[in-house]
Amino acid sequence: MIDPPHAAPSVTEELSAVPESGSGSTAVARLPDNRALRAQQWNTLLPKTYVILLALTVIWIVVFPQVAPLYYVSLALVVLLTVVLGVSWNIISGYTGYISFGHAGFFGIGSYIGALLIAHNLTAWWLAAIVAGVGTALLALPMGALTLRLRGPYFAITMFGLSELARIIVSSWDSLTGGGAGLYLPFLEDRTSNFYAMGILAVVAISVAYLIATSGLGLKLMCIREDEVAAQTLGVNTTWYKIGAFALSAFFPGVAGAVYARQIGYIDPITVFGVIWSIRAVATTMFGGQGTIIGPILGGIVLTLASEWAWAENAFAYQIVFGGLIVLVVLFMPGGVMRLLELRGWIPRTRQL
Amino acid sequence: MTLVQVIINGVLLGGVYALFAAGLNMIVGVMRVINLAHGELMMLGAYTTFMLFSLAHVNPLLSIPASAALMLILGMALQRLMVERVVRQPLLSSLLLTFGLSTLFLGVALNVWTGDQRSVSYLSGSLSVGGLQISVVRMVAFAVAVALTGATFLFLRCSTFGKTIRATAQHPDAAQACGIDVTRVRMVTFGIGSALAAAAGSLVSMMFTFNPEIGQAFLPKAFAVIVLGGLGSFVGALLGALVLGVSETVAGYFSSGQRAESVAFVILIVMLMIRPAGLFGTNE
């Protein structure tokens, strides 16, 4: 099996946690009653909580740039960006269990599609960002069709290879991309629109992740993670679900890359295809808890703020922070913060978290 | 520069690739851990030579044992304290662990040595043989690399400890049942693998300018070599390394250095597509 034993609620266990009406179910009898009940209470409470949190987040996104100093707005943009990377990586790697080291490739491809459209004034910038996302997702389809046949580590390494290959293609395609010299975008007086764009993207990404996780689609993806052969036997067309989840997880870094390019005004292959974007996605999700909704959000916020603090201390410290955290999480906290809370009994096992 | 000379350069480069990949090959073979920090171990070896050379003027060739010994100790410590805990877990745990270690080492190295390009200027001349100009340092590096790779091969093939390593690679449980201390074997294997990476790093430091990111640039090459040659096959890996080296220099000759960089990735991806799963010798 390719799946780490720590990864989030197992499907069967969760299903058995739902009390069944009708003749005395053995599934419920196996669990302590209060736990099954508590999970049910949480499950009715959580959707409402999410709606309230969503509304608060939207209000925060609208108000924050009006009141906060410029530095904090751009910091918040990076937080949102990291959340987007983590949440989207989690769709393929957290739920389906296919760990990818290629998120940087999607980020870079999206950056270049968006930057080229904006620099040549071909479309409105927001449309350019959407086109970048769709284009990245479309490119991910054949990539996924090729690589998702590979299991575990082979997939991870091949994705890393494809991401690097994309960087090399972009930097040697001088006539289109300007090669290693990079690409300049028009100077922006007011960058608030970028913050709004990233905010909307984060909200959409989280909502999509929630819808996936709590639907039958999520169950099928988790089935693939738990036991792909069994999922196939049960009639899940694993190939299509994997490729679909993969393309969806590529859409978000694509859009984010375009917005990021517009925000910083200059991109070159080494920056936007840098392994650090993959590291961000992996580290934040692992820290928060892979295969959970909250995990990558939590990780994105905590790790970005921590690395920003580290950055102020020392320019390379953020790599030490991210690397060290991944090591510590694998060794001592497999499953991340969410799993830790779950083991403590502070939160129940539910797909809604 | 003629094509013959380009091919000779490629062969000389391939020797160093073989040495670098040999260490990774051993580690993957014995404990099924794909060590993503292998490039950083090489990078630390390169900086050991650089530091000894620039601070104490130690001959770079003589610093190879020092850098190998340092990484032997570091590798054994890493294995004992961290990797051993994930050996029996799914492959992804060790993959993520070594990915974290790689990021950590890179961050530390950037902190200590900055991202500036460094070089060790040693034997910078070239030898003229029948109209071909061959760099002396590359020839020396090739000779050292092939000697070390060969020595490792003989060690695994003939020595008693080498046999216990191969036994553990074949079947850890059976090896343990035969009285082999597999934990110790894994520790020593990781140490030797790291030492080989460090030796390759020391050689690379004489051949190229480098910065802490050189490890990341070299790791895919080791994967390509292993994938070409096959897991556990030293002769195969040596041939794979030569093929990679020559392909890279020839691609660089006809195209650009940048495109030459992509050769390793293309080999890696194409090979994994054609022969998925079987290449690292395990099928989960």
* Nearest residue to A203 (alpha-carbon basis) of A352, A90, A51, A54: A54
Residue B269 falls inside a structural domain: no
Q: How many domains does chain B have?
A: 1
The pTM is what? 0.85
Map out the domains of chain A with their CATH numbers.
Answer: 25-344 (1.10.3470)
Residue B260 falls inside a structural domain: no
What average pLDDT is seen over chain A? Answer: 85
Model confidence pLDDT, tens digit, residues A213-225: 988 888 889 988 8
Q: How many CA atoms does the CB half-sphere of A285 hold within 13 Å?
A: 32
Residue B27 falls inside a structural domain: yes
B-chain residue closest to A179, CA distance: B258
Q: Give the pLDDT mean for A107-112.
A: 96
Residue B200 falls inside a structural domain: yes
**Least Cα separation, residue A335 to chain B (angstroms):** 11
Of the partner residues B90, B259, B265, the one whose CB lies closest to the CB of residue A1: B90
In this structure, how many other beta carbons lie within 10 angstroms of the beta carbon of residue B223? 27
pLDDT of residue B280 exceeding 70, the answer is no
ipTM of the complex: 0.86
> For residue B146, what are the domain limits?
14-215
Testing the interface with B: which of A1, A330, A331, A339 to mutate, by most B Cβ within 10 A?
A330
**Which tokens sit at B37?**
């920090």
* Nearest residue to B173 (alpha-carbon basis) of B88, B246, B103: B88
- With 0-12 / 13-18 / 19 or more C-beta atoms within 10 angstroms meaning exposed / middle / buried, residue A45 is exposed
Q: Which residues 158-217 of A are in CB contact (within 8 Å) with B?
A: 158, 160-162, 164-165, 168-169, 171-172, 180
Q: What's the pLDDT at A138?
A: 96
**Least Cα separation, residue B115 to chain A (angstroms):** 10
pLDDT of residue B17 exceeding 70, the answer is yes
B-chain residue closest to A150, CA distance: B276
- With 0-12 / 13-18 / 19 or more C-beta atoms within 10 angstroms meaning exposed / middle / buried, residue A115 is buried
CA A162, distance to chain mean position in Å, is 19
Q: What's the pLDDT at B278?
A: 41
Using an 8 Å CB-CB cutoff, list chain A residues near B106. Answer: 319, 323
**Least Cα separation, residue A53 to chain B (angstroms):** 32
Using an 8 Å CB-CB cutoff, list chain A residues near B104. Answer: 319-320, 323-324, 327
**Least Cα separation, residue A247 to chain B (angstroms):** 19
- With 0-12 / 13-18 / 19 or more C-beta atoms within 10 angstroms meaning exposed / middle / buried, residue B244 is buried
Q: Give the pLDDT mean for A227-255.
A: 92
Q: What's the pLDDT at A85?
A: 96
**Which tokens sit at B254?**
């006809």
CB contact under 8 A, B220 and A160: yes
CB contact under 8 A, A153 and B273: no
Residue keyed to tokens 């044992």 = B65
Residue B255 falls inside a structural domain: no
CB-CB contact of B237 with B156 (8 Å): no
DSSP A293-335: SHHHHHHHHHHHHHHHHHHHH-TTHHHHHHHHHHHHHHHH-TT
Q: Give the pLDDT mean for A233-258.
A: 93
Testing the interface with A: which of B85, B99, B219, B259 to mutate, by most A Cβ within 10 A?
B99
Q: What's the pLDDT at A263?
A: 93
Residue B105 falls inside a structural domain: yes
Residue A9: pLDDT band (50, 70, 90) is very low
CB contact under 8 A, B259 and A168: yes
- Interface of chain B toward chain A, CB-CB under 8 angstroms: 34, 82, 85-86, 89-93, 95-97, 99-108, 110-111, 216, 220, 223, 256, 258-259, 261-262, 265-266, 268-269, 272-273, 276-277, 279-280, 284
Q: What's the pLDDT at A306?
A: 86
CB-CB contact of A142 with A246 (8 Å): no
Which amino acid is residue B25, in one-letter code?
A: N
Pairing of strands B126-129, A183-184: unpaired
DSSP letter at A181? G
Helix (H, G, I), strand (E, B) or coil at A167: helix
Residue B241 falls inside a structural domain: no
Q: Which residue has the higher pLDDT, A69 or A152?
A: A69
End-to-end C-alpha distance for chain B, whole angstroms: 47
Q: What's the pLDDT at B259?
A: 77
> For residue B126, what is the enclosing H or E element?
strand B126-129
> Which of A112-121, A146-155, A232-241, B53-62 is least confident?
A146-155
Residue B40 falls inside a structural domain: yes
CB contact under 8 A, A2 and B91: yes
Using an 8 Å CB-CB cutoff, list chain B residues near A150. Answer: 272, 276-277
Residue B252: pLDDT band (50, 70, 90) is confident
Testing the interface with A: which of B79, B103, B110, B216 to mutate, by most A Cβ within 10 A?
B103
Asked if A142 has any chain B CB less than 8 Å from its own CB, the reply is no
Q: What's the pLDDT at B131?
A: 76
Report percent pLDDT > 90 for chain B: 49
Q: Which residue has the higher pLDDT, A22 or B18?
A: B18
Q: Give the pLDDT mean for A311-322.
A: 80
Q: What's the pLDDT at B232?
A: 66
